[in-house]
Structure 1
């Protein structure tokens, strides 16, 4: 207990949590304002984005302070988490992923991965290509289940996942399918119990984003990233 208390009160850990947490509040506010201005964005009440980004960024800072996240990965993870919050909110509220949000995310991902080295960038680019190629046929076969925005979102997510570890994109894709399937089953059961019409579709983007976060957390816990 004393060791845990000493760890939590250690100045580097406190600073590593509070500083990015405070910055996350500002970044979350920026995300909320940006979504409100986008033509196909979303209007979100404060402080949903602010709190969500702050918590994620604080967790990234804690991971770095505890030695779980290598320093070059901190910028990648905070950028990814900002996208997770902004894209999830939009997809959950309006069931759409704006091009203005997801298209710039891929070059941004490559830029953030660049400090990891040329090999990581090559893995990221290859992972993005393969992930998009894997999602595109499903969109053509079932566009209501997997939208065009989901295919575009696959590029930055696949890039970050592949930069972390080669099996990561495959694991994340499987988890996303499980998450969406579980959500769909829950919604169907709830609709039947309440005797209400079944919803037309379940947004897949939040499942992709959640699966990416879970997969990366697993990879970092295993000490796999460079």
Structure 2
């Protein structure tokens, strides 16, 4: 299977994701090229890594996270929210993605649990201390991201969190008014970590 195959699969998955967004209880309308092109590109990059030797038991992580990242980023940018209909099912989906990883890298289950606690715990603390600074959707999303990035290492989780804060700060300083969605800043570095490892 070549890169073109993965791009085509990503385009189809992106179109399906767009339909899913519209079908949500509080549906989000996203122009079809956004999802189709973005997931196609993300899956094409993952496909190139697979062709270069990424293990099959890890490939599902950047593929699944790439799809979810596009959908959630689109929601946050278009509607300024991360819907429960996507963030909550991400928990069982994360477990499913990490089962084959844990079978091949047993330590990954421990570091994934630690990553979940670190990422979600930090975001929850920020939410409790300064509710206006952190949305509830960001806290819910931090759990699955922490687990997936944590399967790489706890240092990677810290790096993803710092990168997310830095990206949000840059976006805030370059935007004149209004709240800046934090979801895309969380998702991009997390996906990149899963893309380059192992």
TM-score by length of 1: 0.82
Separation in structure 2 between the aligned mates of residue 34 and residue 109 of structure 1, nearest angstrom: 19
Q: Which consecutive unaligned segments of at least 5 residues does structure 1 have? A: 1-14, 189-197
Q: Which residue of structure 2 aligns with residue 54 of structure 1?
A: 40
Pairs aligned (count): 195
Match for residue 216 of structure 1 among 188, 194, 197 = 194
**How many angstroms does 1:158 deviate by?**
0.4
**How many angstroms does 1:126 deviate by?**
2.5
Q: Which residue of structure 1 aligns with residue 158 of structure 2?
A: 170
Q: Which residue of structure 2 aligns with residue 42 of structure 1?
A: 28
Match for residue 91 of structure 1 among 71, 76, 79 = 76
Match for residue 66 of structure 1 among 44, 49, 52 = 52
Separation in structure 2 between the aligned mates of residue 130 and residue 40 of structure 1, nearest angstrom: 30
Q: Which residue of structure 2 aligns with residue 205 of structure 1?
A: 183
Aligned 8 A contact 2:62 2:194 in 1: no
**How many angstroms does 1:46 deviate by?**
1.3
**How many angstroms does 1:106 deviate by?**
1.6
Q: Which residue of structure 2 aligns with residue 22 of structure 1?
A: 8
Structure 1 runs (4+) greater than 2 angstroms displaced: 141-145, 213-217
Range with greater deviation from structure 2 (78-87 or 206-215): 206-215
Structure showing greater relative contact order (alpha-carbon pairs closer than 8 Å, 6 or more residues apart): 2
1:120 aligns with 2:108: yes
Aligned 8 A contact 1:131 1:158 in 2: yes
Q: Which residue of structure 2 aligns with residue 181 of structure 1?
A: 169
Separation in structure 2 between the aligned mates of residue 130 and residue 100 of structure 1, nearest angstrom: 23
Match for residue 86 of structure 2 among 101, 107, 115 = 101
1:137 aligns with 2:125: yes
Q: Deviations over 1:125-145 (max 9, x none)?
A: 231122111110111222232
Structure number, greater radius of gyration: 1
**How many angstroms does 1:123 deviate by?**
2.2
1:146 aligns with 2:134: yes
Q: Which consecutive unaligned segments of at least 5 residues does structure 2 have? A: none
Aligned 8 A contact 1:106 1:159 in 2: no
TM-score by length of 2: 0.93
